[in-house]
Amino acid sequence: GLTRVRQFAQDDAHCFVTQEQIGAEVVRLLGLIQKVYGDLGLSYEVKLSTRPDEYLGSRETWDHAEAQLVTALENAGQAYTINEGDGAFYGPKIDVDITDAIGRKWQCATVQLDYQMPERFDLTYVGADNAEHRPVVIHRAIFGSFERFLALLIEHFAGAFPLWLAPLQVMVLPIADRHLDFAAGVRAQLVAAGLRATVDERQEKIGYKIREAQLQKVPYMLVVGDKEAADGTVSVRSRQGGDLGSRSVRAFLEDAQAEIVSKGVVASPVGV
C-alpha cells in the first residue's frame, strides 16, 4: 500500500546557515522532531551517521561537521547512537528511526549537514566583516515520505485516530427523520467551532448507525431524538468510553476542544 508507492512526496527543506549558526539551528530542528513525534505518540531512536568510505571534501571538514552535530545533540539532551560510516557522501547526518505497531523500524526524519553543495554552486554571503564567506546547507525532513508516514500512523493507531487527528471527528446520529433538522443544526454548531462533523441521514435503526460509526472508528457520536430536540441537548457516545450521557452542545464543544488542544492527553473522556 502506502509503504511501497510508485512516487512519493517529501517535506525536504534546505536551511542556508553560517558556521556559527549550525549548532543552534540543529537544536531547533531536533526540538521540532521531538514536538511532532511527541504529539503523535511515536517512539523513536536517533542515530548519528558518520563519514562513509567514499566521500567528498576533506577529512578535517568532516571531523568538524560531525563535532557540530554531536554538540547539538548533547545540547538538545537527545540520546543517540553512532551509525559508523552511514553518512551521506556530502556530509554527516542525524537519522531518526520510528518503531511501528509491530516493532519494525522505519527511518523517517533526517538532519544532514552539506558542505559540498555551496562549493559546487559557488554560494557566498557577505558577513559582518564585509567579506564573502561560504554558507553551510542543512537538509532536513521531519516526516520523510508523507505516504510512508501516513502508513505508519494508520498502523500505529490501528485506524482509531485521536480526536485532534481523526479525519471525521464527530458523527451526529438522528434517531428518525423528524430529527434531521435538529441534527443539521447540531452539526452546523460543531463545524462553526472548527470540528469535522457529519450527519448520518440514512433511514436505519439507531443501533445500526452506532455500530457503523464504531466500525469507522469515529471518536464521538452524538445521538439526537425527541428528548434531545426538546431539551436542546445531545446524547454523547465515545468510541472508547461508550455512553457518556446527555450534554448540551456547548458543554460537549468545550470538552472536545480542550481534548484537541491537549492532543488527546486528558484525564478522562469527554463528559466523564
* Same domain, residue pair 52 and 144: yes
Same domain, 18 and 147: yes
The count of structural domains within the chain is: 2
pLDDT at 270: 44
Q: Model-level pTM?
A: 0.82
In a domain, 46, yes or no: yes
One domain, residues 62 and 141: yes
Same domain for 228 and 127: no
| Residue entry with cell 461508550 | 242
212 plus 80 within the same structural domain? no
DSSP state of 145: B
Predicted local distance difference test score (pLDDT) of residue 264: 66
- What are the beta bridge partners of residue 106? 98
Half-sphere exposure of 139 (CA within 13 A, CB side): 20
Can you give the pLDDT at residue 265? 46
CA distance 85 to 93: 11
CA dist 79 and 74 (Å) reads 8
**What CATH number has the domain bearing residue 224?**
3.40.50.800
Spatial distance between the Cα atoms of 13 and 11, rounded to a whole number of angstroms: 6
Q: What angle do CA 103, 105, 110 make, to 5 degrees?
A: 150
Answer yes or no: do 103 and 180 share one domain. Answer: no
Cα 32 to chain center, whole Å? 11
- pLDDT averaged per 10 residues, the chain (length 272): 81 92 94 93 92 88 90 92 90 91 86 91 94 94 92 90 95 96 97 97 95 96 96 95 94 95 57 38
Pairwise CA distance, residues 162 & 167, whole Å: 10
Whether 21 maps to a domain, the answer reads yes
- Residue where one domain finishes, among candidates 157, 191, 213: 157
Q: Residue 147 belongs to what domain range?
A: 13-157
The predicted pLDDT at position 263 comes to: 85
Q: Which pLDDT score is estimated for 3?
A: 77
